[in-house]
Amino acid sequence: MTHKNFKNIDKVTYGRGSFSQLTETIEPIRKENKNYFVFVVDNYFKGKPLSTKLQNKPEDLVYFIDVDPYEPTTQQIDTLRDEILPKKGLPSGVIGIGGGSIMDIAKALSLMLTNEGSSTLYQGLNLIKKPGIYHLGVPTISGTGAEVSMTAVLTGPEKKLGLKCDWTVFNQVILDPELIASVPTDWWFYTGMDTYIHCIESHGGIRNNAFSLAYGDQALNLCREVYLNDKAGQTPENDDKLMVASLMGGLSLTYSEVGVCHAISYGLSKIHGTRHCYANCIIFQHLGDIYPEGHAEFMQMIKKHKINLPQNLSKDWNEETLTKMANVSYNLPFMWNHALGDNYKEIATMDYIKDLFRRL
Ligand code: NAD
Ligand code: ZN
């Protein structure tokens, strides 16, 4: 077994109001390349107070990007790169202000500004040839762990797969819990549950270890405080905790692996376009036999926050659709191996996986 060897974020700022330190944080970097920054900002913030506090300079380029209903695409990144480079040359850095979608756009753009050709050429592990430019992430919704991960997930014409390498990891992350206050309750729940499921799956398999368990336990406790205990709910104190949980959950899965819910989730998302965190919630409600304790707690949280998840989706899926989804999930052997053990190939057959989809 090879031991994982991951690159972490170079620097992290944490605390209420810390976003206001952006100017000084990037000042030294402004000396690099053509001395300007590209800001990619979730379109949600256009016209909102945050849009007047971006601290951009006149020479900077600011793009407000709509992330609904589609997740980032390879074409979107290529188009952005091909517009920026002829206009102003290589920027000093890229700043992503938003959720997983925007952070992945910032990560991918920083790589594609220095790597030629379409981003479709680099979907996969260690295919990127040159380091990207400085990139900084500012999460405004917490849960996916995209702020800490080494992947920038892109949907291309053929695959939904990340640009995955050490250079993908942010040089700097600013965690300012004030920025997640405006997240609508349903998204607050789905994205937070992504963290919760990361930890349950990271723990529930053969690849867990003291390192992944330590981060995962801490993140699970924070999730319980945010979603389950007496003081649960969308409060400033809980936002402080959720931002940390998201990062620690990401580190837990990085040093272990995700499991059955994520394997099924990729199939559902790829074929039906279901958003990652929402898809995980739709699936996890049916995995009581596989993750009994995590499932019981998840159902309590669903009840406490009166979340309604769709039921009986599979009644509209014919054999062909089921096969397509199951194929995507089947081709994630690391997840099945982690979740089901070394004889996973005997268990996670196409029929077994189709049956999991039939539960939805
Ligand atoms: P998102 O970025 O897709 O945003 C979800 C919704 O929340 C959007 O409508 C957005 O406009 C809104 N929003 C964001 N911040 C807000 C705020 N402060 N107030 C109000 N609304 C706000 O959400 P996400 O779930 O964080 O990201 C999903 C994406 O992340 C997918 O594209 C998925 O593929 C990707 N992903 C990446 C990784 C990774 O490791 N890189 C891991 C999991 C998922
Ligand atoms: Zn996830």
Ligand nearest to the CA of 264: 2
Which of 123, 149, 180 is the C-terminal boundary of a domain? 180
Residue 359: pLDDT over 80: yes
Q: Which residue range forms the structural domain that includes residue 320?
A: 185-358
Residue 4 belongs to some domain of the structure: no
Assign residue 230 the CATH number of its domain: 1.20.1090.10
- Tell me, yes or no, whether 241 and 300 share the same domain: yes
In the chain, % of residues over pLDDT 70 = 100
Q: For residues 109 and 96, give the distance between their C-alpha atoms in angstroms, rounded to a whole number.
A: 10
- Tell me, yes or no, whether 190 and 294 share the same domain: yes
- Tell me, yes or no, whether 152 and 213 share the same domain: no
Does residue 19 have its Cβ closer than 6 Å to ligand 1? no
What's the average model confidence in pLDDT over 219-236?
97
Residue 156: the pLDDT is 87
Does residue 277 have its Cβ closer than 6 Å to ligand 1? yes
Q: How far is the CA of 85 from the centre of ligand 2 (A)?
A: 33
Does residue 151 have its Cβ closer than 6 Å to ligand 1? yes
- Tell me, yes or no, whether 231 and 147 share the same domain: no
Specify the length of the chain in residues: 360
Residue 2 belongs to some domain of the structure: no
Q: How far is the CA of 249 from the centre of ligand 2 (A)?
A: 9
- Tell me, yes or no, whether 208 and 280 share the same domain: yes
Residue 5 belongs to some domain of the structure: no
Total number of domains constituting the chain: 2
Which of 180, 211, 234 is the C-terminal boundary of a domain? 180
Ligand nearest to the CA of 182: 1
Query: Given pLDDT bands bounded at 50, 70 and 90, which one contains residue 69?
Result: confident
Does residue 102 have its Cβ closer than 6 Å to ligand 1? yes
Query: Given pLDDT bands bounded at 50, 70 and 90, which one contains residue 161?
Result: confident
Residue 296: pLDDT over 80: yes
Residue 140 belongs to some domain of the structure: yes
- Tell me, yes or no, whether 209 and 169 share the same domain: no
**Closest C-alpha residue for ligand 1 atom 44:** 144
Residue 3 belongs to some domain of the structure: no
- Tell me, yes or no, whether 21 and 166 share the same domain: yes
Ligand nearest to the CA of 191: 1
Which of 163, 180, 197 is the C-terminal boundary of a domain? 180
- Tell me, yes or no, whether 220 and 353 share the same domain: yes
- Tell me, yes or no, whether 193 and 168 share the same domain: no
- Tell me, yes or no, whether 263 and 191 share the same domain: yes
Q: How far is the CA of 175 from the centre of ligand 1 (A)?
A: 15
Residue 106: pLDDT over 90: yes
Query: Which residues contact residue 271 at a Cβ distance below 8 angstroms, ignoring those fewer than 6 apart?
Result: 321, 324, 325, 328
Residue 1 belongs to some domain of the structure: no
- Tell me, yes or no, whether 161 and 211 share the same domain: no
SS (H, E, C) the chain: CCCCCCCCCCEEEECCCHHHHHHHHHHHHHHCCCCCEEEEEEHHHCCCHHHHCCCCCCCCEEEEECCCCCCCEHHHHHHHHHHHHHHHCCCCEEEEEECHHHHHHHHHHHHHCCCCCCHHHHCEECCCCCCCCEEEEEECCCCCCCCCCCEEEEECCCCEEEEECHHHCCCEEEECHHHHCCCCHHHHHHHHHHHHHHHHHHHCCCCCCHHHHHHHHHHHHHHHHHHCCCCCCCCHHHHHHHHHHHHHHHHHHHCCCCCHHHHHHHHHHHHHCCCHHHHHHHHHCCCCCCCHHHHHHHHHHHHHCCCCCCCCHHHHCCHHHHHHHHHHHHCCHHHHHHHHCCCHHHHCCHHHHHHHHHCC
Residue 2: the pLDDT is 77
Residue 60 belongs to some domain of the structure: yes
- Tell me, yes or no, whether 265 and 173 share the same domain: no
Alpha-carbon separation of residue 78 from 15, 107, 194, 256, 344 (angstroms) = 34, 13, 29, 32, 38
Residue 160: the pLDDT is 81
Flag whether the pTM goes above 0.85.
Answer: yes
Does residue 68 have its Cβ closer than 6 Å to ligand 1? yes
